Structure 1
């Protein structure tokens, strides 16, 4: 129940109150031209919006008295969605790809894995390199560090170490990021 209430609260914060939803006695009114008209009774503000055939929108509900603006709400929402789409276009999504190694990996297998990581890094993705130690291999974690360092050297022309190899339980992980990023 608590999570549901919080979700409803977030939805309400995104949607602005418009026209009849505004039940405040007094509001600070801004005209459609951006001119401040001062503190006006709520009913009068709604009547002014109806006269101009526009919507009355509460843009700052936390202010005392709340700030309302006369505007075309449909046009306003369209502009907002346009801005959000533009912001999403500019974001770059970075994926994290994983390459798994073993502490006693052969040289050729290491080169094949490094070629795979090379492709990921050249596409702009980050790479998580992991080694899982099984059974008695836990006694030879130094081999894991050596394998990780060799791997980092093989992909050094396109990637750099973002997070050095670290041992957490039976897993050793290292993160590589593309050099151009």
Structure 2
């Protein structure tokens, strides 16, 4: 008896995979949309089941005999795969550590200018080291300096994470911000969208 072949959701599917009527085999080993092994069925039956589910029939193992086909939303699958590939390429990009210097008494407009640059670095996928040097009597303002740095880090809650908290070494204090992952950004965007929808519903005029 020929052993059954099991395929997971994450099995790589070629961009050139045959789908639906492109599949020329007379019969296929079918896996349904839930991942259940249906068995060997005529191609017409497999296509009918896919159409009934309003999904696609995708040949995921063309070299098998008979070929293995799965019922799925092929367009959605390719979209998700492309997102994963894009994120993987971003991770392969050499991450640089940019640096931004703050002063203990940096003016508000200067902080805004520096914040725009830091945001640009984080959006570009780079880490940012924020540093502050205490000169002479400024050592008496270490606590104020730490608060300034933490408040500055808070400006980037949607773009980055505090990878390294402010730490004083000699007369230099520094912290490191790391860019958020695409998944974290998506969660934040979704939360904001839901909050906006809730607020709109609460403010809608009552009939």
TM-score, normalising length from structure 1?
A: 0.49
Q: Which has the larger radius of gyration?
A: 1
Higher relative contact order (CA 8 A, sep 6+): 1
TM-score, normalising length from structure 2?
A: 0.43
